[in-house]
Chain A
Amino acid sequence: MSGAGGVEIEAYLARPLGDDRRGGVVVIHHMPGYDRATKEMTRRLAVLGYDALCPNLFWREAPGADPDDASAAVRALGGVPDERLVGDVAAAADHLRQLPQATGRIGVIGHCSGGRQAVLTGCHIQIDAVVDCYGAYVTGDPPPDWPLRVTNLVPILPKLSAPVLGLFGNEDRTPSPEHVDEFEAILRANGKQSEFYRYANAGHGFFAVDRTSYRVVAAVDGWERIASFFTRHIAPEV
């Protein structure tokens, strides 16, 4: 696909079979990269009835590299700049809108660093639904020696263009329950539509099925919340 600045980047597209009209979902991969787990999530969104597209955000630094090697390279360089990230997600949304059965309605979902980036995107472009799965530093401040080019999103949250579904583990520290409460309070104060769910006995990464952080109760409920949220905000009207 054509990414920010017209640069060709790799992307993973999963589509339902058939001719039904459908919304699109941009999947923002986490810091560990454009990996198998994220592609599995992308396919699951196609099973739910959406055209789903995951751009490889590390393609420019590491074309063709294994996801873990690409992630290590990008990490050493300080991460992906926010402006480029927004450009890549906006381009992915445009790509989805051009597909034959597209309704034009777009959701964005991200986990971990991708959760913050999903919210970031919703503050810069017009989309229809944002899903933030335990994104760090939407609120709260990174430590002073923070190596990545990341700031919190508090100043731009009033510009958010879409309703937000937030899914968080109460044992997480980034974001902590206090960070999540602050995020929700800011959205409410600005009249933004939001649905936040907080899971006990779950920390960061509870959706990750092949990691010890996986929590089946939270993950199963979380997927049901995602399906319901997208049905209400980006699925075609029956």
Chain B
Amino acid sequence: MCTYLTEHIAVTGSGKGRNGWFRLTDATVYYDHPVHALDEHTLNIDFAAPALGPAARVAVELDADSAQRLVEAVRRALASRPDAVG
């Protein structure tokens, strides 16, 4: 199936694309058909800067287990920062 469902958030940071580093402004997250990964559906994340054009994008396609491990790893990494609460 095509889910089309898309989470869209504003982000601040940088990403490295085909033309080097650029400032990120947006991220979209969706679970749908991949372009390249060999699964029927993947968790896809696009880090982007639409003002710089469609090619200003860093894309990843992860199977669901990988995406879940990524979420947990991000949480662990964030919890280790010096000013983390809890």
**Does B72 count as interface, using CB distance less than 8 angstroms?**
no
User: Which residue of B2, B30, B50 is within 8 Å of A204 (Cβ)?
Assistant: B2
Q: Is there an interface contact between B2 and A72, defined as CB atoms closer than 8 Å?
A: no
Nearest B residue to A213 via CB reads B40
Q: Is there an interface contact between A212 and B39, defined as CB atoms closer than 8 Å?
A: yes
**Does A62 count as interface, using CB distance less than 8 angstroms?**
yes
Which chain B residues numbered 31 to 82 have a C-beta less than 8 Å away from chain A?
A: 33, 35, 38-40, 46, 48, 50, 53-55, 57, 59
Q: Is there an interface contact between B1 and A62, defined as CB atoms closer than 8 Å?
A: no
Known: A68-B59, A136-B1, A172-B1. A76 touches B53 (CB 8 A): no
User: Which residue of B2, B26, B38 is within 8 Å of A76 (Cβ)?
Assistant: B26
Q: Is there an interface contact between A75 and B35, defined as CB atoms closer than 8 Å?
A: no
A-facing mask of B1-37, CB < 8 A → 1, else 0? 1111110100000000000000000101010010100
- Considering the chains assembled together, what is the distance between the CA atoms of A51 and B46 in angstroms? 36
A-B interface pairs (CB < 8 A), number: 79
Which chain A residues numbered 31 to 56 have a C-beta less than 8 Å away from chain B?
A: 31-32
User: What chain B residues lie within 8 Å of A79 (beta carbons)?
Assistant: 4
Interface residue range, chain A: 20 to 34
Q: Is there an interface contact between B54 and A72, defined as CB atoms closer than 8 Å?
A: yes
The smallest C-beta distance from A28 to any residue of chain B, in angstroms, reads 14
User: What chain B residues lie within 8 Å of A71 (beta carbons)?
Assistant: 35
The smallest C-beta distance from B60 to any residue of chain A, in angstroms, reads 12
User: Which residue of B6, B38, B39, B54 is within 8 Å of A70 (Cβ)?
Assistant: B54
**Does A3 count as interface, using CB distance less than 8 angstroms?**
no
- Considering the chains assembled together, what is the distance between the CA atoms of A145 and B55 in angstroms? 27
Known: A62-B54, A147-B8. A72 touches B1 (CB 8 A): no
Nearest A residue to B4 via CB reads A148
Q: Is there an interface contact between B2 and A65, defined as CB atoms closer than 8 Å?
A: no
B-facing mask of A59-83, CB < 8 A → 1, else 0? 0011001101111110110010000
**Does A113 count as interface, using CB distance less than 8 angstroms?**
yes
Q: Is there an interface contact between A76 and B50, defined as CB atoms closer than 8 Å?
A: yes
Nearest B residue to A79 via CB reads B4
Q: Is there an interface contact between B33 and A75, defined as CB atoms closer than 8 Å?
A: no
Nearest A residue to B5 via CB reads A147
Nearest B residue to A78 via CB reads B6
Q: Is there an interface contact between B2 and A75, defined as CB atoms closer than 8 Å?
A: no
Sample of 24 A–B contacts (CB below 8 Å): A31-B2, A65-B55, A69-B54, A69-B55, A72-B54, A72-B59, A73-B48, A73-B57, A76-B28, A76-B46, A76-B50, A136-B4, A143-B5, A147-B5, A147-B8, A148-B4, A173-B1, A174-B1, A203-B1, A203-B40, A204-B1, A204-B2, A205-B33, A211-B33
Interface residues of A (CB under 8 A from B): 31-32, 61-62, 65-66, 68-73, 75-76, 79, 112-113, 136, 142-143, 145-148, 150, 172-174, 203-205, 211-213
Interface residues of B (CB under 8 A from A): 1-6, 8, 26, 28, 30, 33, 35, 38-40, 46, 48, 50, 53-55, 57, 59
